[in-house]
Amino acid sequence: MQRVVISGLGVVSPIGIGKDDFWSALSRHRGTPLREVKTAGGARGGIPSIEIDDFDYGKLSRFGDDKRTKYMDRYIQYAAMAMELALDDAGLVKNGLDLSDCGIIFGSAYGCIENNTRHIEGLYNKGPRFVNPVIYQNTVPNTAPGYCALLFGMRGYNTIITSGMTSGLNAISYAYNLIKIGRADLIVAGGVERWCDALQRSLELSGLVSSRSEASQGSAAKPNNMFVSEGAGVIVLESMAHAQKRNARIYAEMCGYGMANNLDTSRGISDCIRQALSENRMTPGDVGSTYICAHANSEGAPEKEELKAISSVFGNNGPSICVGTIKGSLGEALGAAGGFGIAASAMALDKGEIPPTCNLKFSDDESNFHFIYNNTEIRKIDHAIVNSIGIDGNNMSILLKKA
């Protein structure tokens, strides 16, 4: 078995492009309003959403003028830009390392749905004979890992997971496992999401239900203080041996994960955390000072269920467990959320600082965990756990530890 480390971070987000801007924005938020929030409306009441401003791939990327990028839609651009940032951050491009055996595994909830809408618009409005083959070829989500492979010459393991909101963590766990069992030395993994109208309508119609109690209510109440966003969060995963051999900077070590399909979130997430711990041969008492980067994207039932789960595992750990969410600043970025969470948690471990929770308040009466609001806290942490919960019932947790 190999040990697996995180050696590079690439973030394209509504609050910052590049991990330093991202971290700086996360740690400075004091509950101030974010950039322009637009309400898209919809059948059961609008949920605000934001797009990334000022994203010009042509200007941002070293491949901006490369003719191979001509037909990359924004979904692909987010992934490719985050990829480029991650590889640069890991010192891989500058040092001219041969990446031909390296892999790429992404995750996305709605994938290329914006492009797919274009295709179907063409089909219905212009007719079958005038369907654009260039648009058609981008109607599968693997254009993201495919273009990334092309631009960086990476011919190893390459795929994409589309399992709803847990896709980002799912992709990362898949890559982690392949490295752990010695099948690959280096895989870039993470999540990407591109906001569009069809995605917005889908989420609004679904009521963003993420717990059984809400599911049983049918048309669920709108989650409080939630908004939808987009972007890409991508990390470089490497075997410890490979990273050490090239003197790579190591942010954190990844040491376990859990997957469980259960609409009963409190049961599902607690199972996931326990799986992650046991994979690392740990009991809840072994975690020491820990930051839990929660899924919580709103106030209300889902966040309560997640806290219940965390309590059932770590109830006896008290304030050495710090629970927070970055989604008050970032919004719910769906497939990209897992990547954002891992990036933030890796930096938290590396820096010994925990970013504050903004715009949301946990229903923290039932627990004696530590919650940080409004200011970054300097705190050395030993472990971090990142959670994702899907409205389809999927749950995931990933466990990181200080390198």
Partner 1 sequence: MKQEKIVVTGLGVICANGKSLSEFRRNLEDGVTGVGSVTLFDVSPYRCKIAGQVRECDYGKDDFEDRAAMFAVNAAAMAIEDAGLKLDSKGNDRVGVILGTTMGGIASFEKFYRSQFMGDSEKYYRNLEKQHTFHIMTDAVAEKFSLRGPKSTVCVACASGTNSIGYAADLIRAGKADIMLAGGSDSLSEFVFSGFSALRAITPSDRIRPYDRDRDGTALGEGAGILVLEREESAVKRGAKIYAEYAGYGFSNDAYHPTQPDREGPGLAKAMEYALRESGLPGDAIDYINLHGTGTKANDVMETNAIKRVLGAHTKRIMASTIKPMVGHTLGAAGAIEAIATVLSIKDDFAPPTINHVTADSECDLDIVPNKARKAKINVAMSLSAAFSGNYAAVMFKKHMRDNENAARSH
| 71 binding partner 1? (CB under 8 A) | yes
Q: Which of 139, 244, 312, 363 binds partner 1 (CB under 8 A)?
A: 139
CB of 135 to partner 1, least distance (A): 8
CB of 156 to partner 1, least distance (A): 6
3-class SS at 180? helix
Over the window 265 to 304, marking each residue x when it contacts partner 1 by CB under 8 A and - when it does not, the resulting string is: ---x--x---x---x-------------------------
| 3 binding partner 1? (CB under 8 A) | no
Question: Phi and psi dihedrals of 396, rounded to 5?
Answer: -145, 145
**CA distance linking residue 396 with residue 47, whole number of Å:** 24
Using CB under 8 A as the binding rule, the residues of this chain from 147 to 176 that contact partner 1 are 147, 149-150, 152-164, 170, 174
Using CB under 8 A as the binding rule, the residues of this chain from 176 to 195 that contact partner 1 are 177-178, 181-183
**CA distance linking residue 297 with residue 283, whole number of Å:** 28
**CA distance linking residue 11 with residue 334, whole number of Å:** 14
Place of tokens 């490979």: 242
CB of 336 to partner 1, least distance (A): 16
CB of 4 to partner 1, least distance (A): 13
Name the residue nearer to partner 1 (CB basis): 33 or 128. 128
% helix, strand, coil for the chain, step of 5 = 40, 20, 40
| 128 binding partner 1? (CB under 8 A) | yes
- Residues in the interface with partner 1 (CB under 8 A) total 71
Q: Which of 32, 65, 96, 127 binds partner 1 (CB under 8 A)?
A: 127
| 96 binding partner 1? (CB under 8 A) | no
| 123 binding partner 1? (CB under 8 A) | yes
| 141 binding partner 1? (CB under 8 A) | yes
**CA distance linking residue 296 with residue 369, whole number of Å:** 15
**CA distance linking residue 220 with residue 391, whole number of Å:** 12
- 104 - beta bridge partners? 158, 188
CB of 367 to partner 1, least distance (A): 25
Q: Are 327 and 366 within 8 A, CB to CB?
A: no
Q: Are 223 and 296 within 8 A, CB to CB?
A: no
Place of tokens 């389809």: 392
